[in-house]
Structure 1
Amino acid sequence: MIYVTTDGSVKVEAGFIRAEDKAAAVQANILQPSRHATTEAAPKSPISDTLRGDLDRIGTGARQNAMLDDPKLALHLLTFQLCGKMGYDRAYGVRTDDVPNVPTTETGYVMDRRLTVSDTDDRSPFNRDYAAEFAKFRKRGDAKIMDLLNRYLVAHLTSSSPDLGAMIDKLTSKRTRDTFTPTAENFFGRVNGAYLNDLWSDLLGLAADHPTVTMFEKLKKGEKAAKLESLFADPATRTALGLSEDQTCRINTWLPEGMA
């Protein structure tokens, strides 16, 4: 082969063999046989891609049709997927979005362990025998699997509808203060001093010029936050203030605006 390089000089390269001459060159020991496996073009399938798509849908429909008669199996399989046993694979076309339920600081926040401790494993998601693992999973029994299903469904509970959310809260008798106690770290230290002054006065039901309120207003913000935390969490503080039943009830049920 004769060619011109980038600097304008002419070069001649010998030894190139045309594709149609390769077989003869190999036979004459001029060229070494290729070490790469030869790939032969697969015969074209008589089934078009569109037809294959329809056949796949028919197979999926047949599987769904059969599953309708075994709701227990359907729920077991859903649980198997939801609790992360399938890695990157899935049994259902169901997407689960992350529903954050843990604040940036967990001080004063206590959730049911079932909502915070995962049942997933850290094994590789690749090359797994999911059929065998699912068979083993089902041996846990209906009660344990239904508990898992409830746990993982509830962990994804969220509602963008205020009406539906309120209905669910009423049906479940939701009490936010069962899981949340305001502290200096998780709330009081994150609002301004004027807000803390008003909150102290409102919780105790005292006028703005009451000595207990005016003394509180003179404190530094960090001291105010600590004093309010003590009011919510320390029985000794409540006793020292001689709180009435109404004041105690107001403190025990108080939530920041926008919460219920």
Structure 2
Amino acid sequence: MSNVTAFARDARAIEAPGIEALPLSDLYLSDMNPRQEADPEGIALLADSIAMIGLIQPLAGLRDPQGKVGILAGGRRWRAIRLALERDPELVAHRPELAFVPVRLAPDEATARAWAAVENTAREDLHPADEIRAYGRMRDGGADVPTIARTFGATEAHVYRRLALAALPAPVLDALKAGEITLGAAKAFTVADDEALALSVLEQARGREMSEHRLKQLLQPEAINAAGDRRARFVGIDAYRAAGGRMTADLFADTALLQDGELLARLFAEKLTAEAAAAAEGWKWVETVDAPWIDYQTTAALGRVYPVEGELTEEQAERFDELAELAEAEVLDEDGQAELDALQAILDGGFTDEQKAHAGIIAYVSNEGELRLHQGLVRPEDTAAAVEAGVMQENRHTIGSGAKDSKPKSPYSGALVEDMRAVRLHAVQAALLAKPELVLDLLAFGLSGESGNDRVFGIRPETARNYPSVTDGLDGDPRLADPERTGSGWLDDDERLLAFRTFIEKGKKHRNATITEGIARTLPYPGIRDGFFAAIEDMAGADPRKVWTPTAENFLSRVSADYLDALMLDLTGTDPQDSGFKAFKAQKKAAKALSLEKLFSDADYQAAWQIDAEKKAKIDAWVPDCF
């Protein structure tokens, strides 16, 4: 029988212990106290609290044969009192209980051991909902954050996080206290600015596993996430607010939700037009595109002029080679990189005034919110003049421009050209055989979607359908989503080469992860012959229930009522004549689906059906036989 049990049994026989005020020097931590270690930061915070509001609860101890008292319960308070007096010896002037500490003394060792066990095992932390309300009441009473932190022995950062939830509607905090929503879900409700909508969403969220992202979507259906919207990034939050735009701060996601979509669209269009006009100086024309890329159909109808490449002096060329070698070895300092960039800019050259007089630019804003310019584009009606001025050559620049092909007949036959291309390709492929790292870089680049709409190799893996039409209950891995391969548009040679170099700079770890993700996305669902697929499934340790949970929306409402009846019997193992099952069977199909959803995810509902460990394992592993 434990000491706690013995103590409870004999409680009536024990006289109420007295409380004595004892000098701090007479107190020490008893070996019976289970909490021999304490967090220094926590003790410091508790010392602040005791210094501010005093000692509210006495300690408990047992007097030893030498007359000293070992602390059985309240070891943290004892440590905090000592620390508070070390910091400020004059504190006893207005906190006399710190000099003569109130201690409840146990009459004997058996009682002392029972006290130590009860005090240190029964103590519970304050529930977050109660903590939020307590902090809120203190703030409403005029206390500032440092005061609240010292009073409760908490960090100021913790108090700020809790106070951010203090203004939530009472039903939300009630649901948190009842365990119907998580603390993360409660944080999501801070974005709501319509209490009626918030309470409606709360009813949907009670007892369900709903992501914070989904809750925020429901609470702010028209809002625009400033961090993820290219228009918001381009316009800027300050400009949006200066124009009178309304916004709600997401206190727990370090972002803002913009409420005026029409205003944002207007500000975006105005800024894009203004910046495009500023960049168009010297060019014949400028257009803007309200998309994060320029599609191939647009550029295919236009000709192009290309920057005039610059030339380095012999001295500059030697210096360029030196700096490039240092950069390749990754030992180039900041000044050296700036010098290398300046020399590269000379090599890259630029457009001449005469080229600009016959060509134009298309401006757009990328997904990152940055202005991008597609320069040197020649309209079909300007092609003849550009050729006549010598800024274009028909055989190089006028493909797709609508200009008449007047180049002289080639001395090479079509078959000969194809043969020579085959020789060139063979030579490159042969060289790649000795460059496996380069091949892997190119493969990963092509799989990443960063290479634009064209292919690097003659390979374009297709992503099999791996997301159901109803995604409720699916904990999908974002790496398996099909990358927006049109996200980069059609890249010209320079853009594509820059994209590839940028990709290589991310390192081999990124490359290898990209290959794994890209190839994994292409695994198709098998047809009739699925033995090989099943073997891969086994080797990978795959389990549909690791990523999917049956819900009323994604499965249970999409089968018959008879199916639900049979499933309930199978999973619960209950008797068909049992009153609980009869009540379930009498429900309409929609209610049955919701009840079964709780059977898969609600511990209290499982307890009501007396689901033991064996039955729970069966429920957790169940999948329909239509896979």
Report the TM range for the smaller structure's normalisation.
Answer: 0.7 to 0.9
Which range is displaced more, 42-51 or 228-237?
A: 42-51
1:52 pairs with 397, 409, 417, which one?
A: 417
Shift of 1:97: 1.9
C-alpha separation in 2, matches of 1:226 and 1:198: 15
> Do residues 69 (structure 1) and 434 (structure 2) align?
yes
Shift of 1:235: 0.6
- Report what 1:240 is aligned to: 608
2:507 pairs with 128, 134, 141, which one?
A: 141
Q: Which has the higher contact order (CA 8 A, sep 6+)?
A: 1
- Cα 1:245–1:40, aligned 2, differ >3 Å: closer, same or farther? closer
- Report what 2:519 is aligned to: 153
- Report what 1:218 is aligned to: 586
Shift of 1:210: 2.8
- Report what 2:573 is aligned to: 205
Cα-to-partner distance string for 1:87-107 (whole Å, 9 max, x where unaligned): 222210112223121111211
1:93 pairs with 443, 454, 458, which one?
A: 458
Instruction: Answer whether contact 1:82 1:152 (CA < 8 A) is retained.
Output: yes
Instruction: Answer whether contact 1:85 1:121 (CA < 8 A) is retained.
Output: no
C-alpha separation in 2, matches of 1:183 and 1:227: 10
C-alpha separation in 1, matches of 2:581 and 2:560: 16
C-alpha separation in 1, matches of 2:565 and 2:505: 58
C-alpha separation in 2, matches of 1:61 and 1:241: 70
C-alpha separation in 2, matches of 1:88 and 1:107: 32
| Structure 1: segments with no counterpart, 5+ residues | 1-34
Instruction: Answer whether contact 2:452 2:485 (CA < 8 A) is retained.
Output: no
C-alpha separation in 2, matches of 1:141 and 1:203: 49
1:103 pairs with 447, 463, 468, which one?
A: 468
Matches within 5 A, 1:161-240: 161-240=529-608
**Higher strand content, 1 or 2:** 2
Shift of 1:59: 1.1
> Do residues 116 (structure 1) and 447 (structure 2) align?
no
Shift of 1:140: 0.8
C-alpha separation in 2, matches of 1:234 and 1:55: 69
Instruction: Answer whether contact 1:83 1:119 (CA < 8 A) is retained.
Output: no
- Report what 2:446 is aligned to: 81
- Cα 1:40–1:114, aligned 2, differ >3 Å: closer, same or farther? closer
Instruction: Answer whether contact 1:99 1:157 (CA < 8 A) is retained.
Output: yes
SS state of the match for residue 129, structure 1?
helix
C-alpha separation in 1, matches of 2:485 and 2:476: 19
In the alignment of these two chains, the number of paired residues is: 225
Cα-to-partner distance string for 1:20-78 (whole Å, 9 max, x where unaligned): xxxxxxxxxxxxxxx87797853332321111111111111111111111111111111
Cα-to-partner distance string for 1:149-185 (whole Å, 9 max, x where unaligned): 1111111122534011011011111111000100000
C-alpha separation in 1, matches of 2:415 and 2:452: 30
Provide the TM-score with structure 2 as the length reference.
Answer: 0.34
Instruction: Answer whether contact 2:552 2:593 (CA < 8 A) is retained.
Output: yes
Shift of 1:188: 0.5
Which range is displaced more, 42-51 or 111-120?
A: 111-120
Shift of 1:213: 2.2
- Cα 1:40–1:195, aligned 2, differ >3 Å: closer, same or farther? closer
C-alpha separation in 1, matches of 2:576 and 2:534: 35
C-alpha separation in 1, matches of 2:457 and 2:485: 18
Q: Percent identity?
A: 29
Instruction: Answer whether contact 1:107 1:186 (CA < 8 A) is retained.
Output: yes
C-alpha separation in 2, matches of 1:169 and 1:124: 35
